[in-house]
Structure 1
Amino acid sequence: MTRFRLLSWIGVLFVGQCFLLALGQTWVFLAPFLLVFGWISFLQRVLPEVTFSGRAIAEALGVTGVLAVGAHVFLRRLWRQRRADSPGPSEWPARWSVMLVAAMVLLFTATMASVGVAHHVGWMMSGRVPLTRSSWPQWNIDGSRSAGLLCETALTHVKAGTPTERLSLKLLEDPETRARAEALHVVSRVSEDQERYLLVFPRDPRSREEAGGAYCGPGLERARPLDAAAVQAWLAEPGRSPPPPPSPESVQRGLP
């Protein structure tokens, strides 16, 4: 019975991981690997950027040396006074002083590391930046799917009479669209035929290269995705006409 229960739990965990993987949550598999071997890639990325200050190193070594010598002299004298009338060694061993100073340095380093960890955890928990990102760019907060949803919401505000210059502020004031508005740009563009379109794309250039953006406007029932090249071309030429909407035949065939 115990073996069957163990196999059942393993099966449930496996199915759950497969479900999360299907949603693009690869962190389920990456987290255990990174916890064990993540420090290797961290050192490869950080060590080439590390710079050493000779003055700071000399000061640290000097302070540590003075502390070690002073502690040894003080403890040796105190040891002699305490052990003057007692049998056993009357000299304070130098290795004890070295061990004591090493423990103090280790404690100081651990304290700084703990403060840094607490500060970083507090920053992550208090911020609105998501702790994980999907391996499918379109599902991220600044992906093409979010860009399309924000574009449709922005177009609704424009049709309701919101001026385009106040559109971003309107989206930021709405709690339902604030997170997307912080991650995405909303730009108004007038095409060659004097039709106004809204172009939405990530603020982060790296996300823009991965996910592209979206646009919406007259003649479109829903927002249309754009790749990074099309977004860049439209930004470079404000009067550029957007790509044509899909034909009914292509929609019936399931083509973009």
Structure 2
Amino acid sequence: MAPLNLAISPCPNDTFAFHALAHGLVPGAPPVSVTFADIDVLNTRAADGLDDLVKVSYAALPWLLDRYRLLPSGGALGRGCGPLVLMAEDRGASRIGETGGGGDADVLRGARVAIPGTRTTAYLLFRLWAAGVDVASIDVLPFEKIMPAVRDGRYDAGLVIHESRFTYPSYGLVSVADLGDWWEGATGLPIPLGAILARRDLPAGVGDLGGAVRGSVAAAFADRTASADWVLAHSQELAPEVVEAHIDLYVNGFSLDLGDEGYAAVEELLGRAATANLVPPLPTPLR
């Protein structure tokens, strides 16, 4: 059997979770070849049907479920792991003072905002949170370029994901809103960030892909040292302690299985977004 194409991000949560599958260490799993790309590129690849297994934003599902099915394992969903809205320290302090406190979307009125992609979960949450607030502009940047752009004054604010939660103070930035805290306070549910999809037209001979992915995540938890070199090789020069914090935050029980609570979180996010006409209704059930 020719290897399946697996497309994931180079971020530590993905390389940690998929190390065993990528290296043929999951019994009974099909062989895979790995393509790395940032989340905005992965969403586009999935829209073009380029990959057999692909990591995408949950926000992109309404455009993808006609061709792909959601796997119950391997994704990123949890608590305390939401996107942040960042500003330079002086500007952020000034805007918070004007609006009466952090977390108020009015802090972005008239702001130039950099985001990691228009079909990312981060941006969907941003649109739900900031409904009715007129920003000056929205531009897409690779996620690793957002904080330098805000620090250097090219943008007033940046919407950040991944390890930026741990590193933004070193850029002289402050968080003016934690969209994960906002979501959890509004719904009581965990925040759905990244999903793993499999093509619907794969031959039956590939076996249980959900089980294969679950086996890879389980292997990562069973021996954290096995993936360490591969994770660090793709971690874009992150400090080892940041890599560990990233994995601890984004790879958890929901990565083994979404379960009823995980599915409920995804359905709530996409249901709210569809009601607000931000995404189309889901074309097929999630499970």
* TM-score bucket of the superposed structures, by smaller chain: under 0.3
Higher relative contact order (CA 8 A, sep 6+): 2
Q: What TM-score do you get using the length of structure 2 for normalisation?
A: 0.20
The structure carrying a bigger strand percent of its residues is 2
The structure that has the greater radius of gyration is: 1
